Each structure stands twice: as C-alpha cells, then as structure tokens.
Amino acid sequence: MATLVPFHVAIIMDGNGRWAKKRGLPRIAGHREGAKAVERVIYASLKRGIRYLSLFAFSTENWKRPEPEVYGLMNILKVYFLTKIEILKWAGVRIRFGGRWWELQTDLVNLIEKAIKSTEKNKKLDVIVYLNYGGRQEILDAVASIISQGNGSLLSEETFRSHLYMPDVPDPDLLIRTSGEKRISNFLLWQLAYTELYFSETLWPDFGEEELDSAIAEYNRRERRFGGVL
C-alpha cells in the first residue's frame, strides 16, 4: 500500500531551550540549532511532496520571555531571511506569514515583506511562518473584521474562514509537536478541528527526515472520519 503524504503539515517547534540546557549552552544556542532544523524539514517536505508546511515560530505569549532571548530570536529570524530566502526561492518554496507580524520591528517587517514578494509565484511548497501569533487572537481578529464589515447576520463557516489570517490555506492534515509536550498551545485553534495530532519525544533541534517520516507513518495508520463513521 502506497504511503499517503499529508497535504498540509503543521509543526509546533518545541524544545530548543531544553536542547541547549542539556548541553550547558545558553538558550539562544538552541534557537540557532532550531533554525537549522527548520531548513532540514523544509527540504524534507519538498522531497516528500508535502504542499503546505506551517511552522509555529513565535507566539504572542513568547513576549513574556527574557528580553535578551526575544532579542536573540528576532536576530536569528533576520539573519535567516537575509541569507536563506533566495535559496528557498530557487527551490520553489513560497514563504508566507501568519499572525500579527506587521507589529514586529520595522527592519524585520521589511525583510518579511521582501520574502513574501520574492517568492509569491512559487508553487512547490508553501511555508507559512507564524510570527507574533495566537489562535485566540486570530479568532478575535476575525470576529472584529466581520463586525466591521457588517457581515454578522450572514455568518457561516466559510464567511468566518475568509477573515482568518490565511483563509486560502487548507486545514492541516497532520500536526506535529516536538519535545514530548502534549498540547497545542494556542496554535491554529479553528483550523485543527479534525487534524491528526502526533507528539514526538525528539527536541526540535534534533528533528529531521527520520522523525518526519515517523510522523507520516503514524498518520497513515490513522482512520480519518471527520465526525462520520467508517
């Protein structure tokens, strides 16, 4: 039986800090290694024919972390967008962003806008990076948008979806969370209604092709019913 590759994979990339702590390194070292894991998983997704890859990079709650860690994370993002976007562009990757990314530092917002523009015609793999994102905030923003447009009386699931941050992106087929934690942490609350959940013990900086294949294999053992009966 052929392996069914999920159309859309979402990942909560967890465990950077614990990876660093185990090695006696500062937390920011774990985030740097985590950026390398992002690159591995993007190319692994391309090879396997995954069409959408959503990555939870920085949540609205992450602002509570120590200022040096937040500052370091933002610098890692800047370096990544400066050095990797052209390579990803030529690989056929379209880079997109979910969340309130426009509220970030101006220089980072400029790099984000450049990444969006330079890769917008690519169609092999959409990588959606969720920055300054919270699932509850997305729902509140959608409701506010609906109210502002006076569409409340015509509300349906389709209308509501059209006001989400990424309305054209299909719901994830598979959500992977690394580091052994078993929660979704305010990520894609609306979109995960019928998503298969997979929890990996691997810390994110160690995650790669083998771990992705394990998640896909488990996905193939599931029976997706979407509320119905088989």
Residue 93 in any domain: the answer is yes
pLDDT digits (tens, 9 = 90+) for 39-95: 999 999 999 999 999 999 999 999 999 999 999 999 999 999 999 999 999 999 999
pLDDT digits (tens, 9 = 90+) for 112-124: 999 999 999 999 9
Residue 228 above 90 pLDDT?
no
CATH number of the domain residue 82 falls in = 3.40.1180.10
Whether 62 is catalytic is yes
**Which one from 14, 16, 132, 173 is the annotated catalytic residue?**
14
Sign (positive or negative) of CA dihedral 134, 18, 66, 37: negative
Residue 164 in any domain: the answer is no
Token couple for 230: 């088989």
Residue 226 in any domain: the answer is no
Residue 155 in any domain: the answer is no
**Which one from 62, 75, 151, 220 is the annotated catalytic residue?**
62
Predicted TM-score of the model (pTM): 0.95
C-alpha torsion 104→161→123→223, nearest 10? 120
Residue 30 in any domain: the answer is yes
Range of the domain at 65: 8-132+169-219
Whether 14 is catalytic is yes
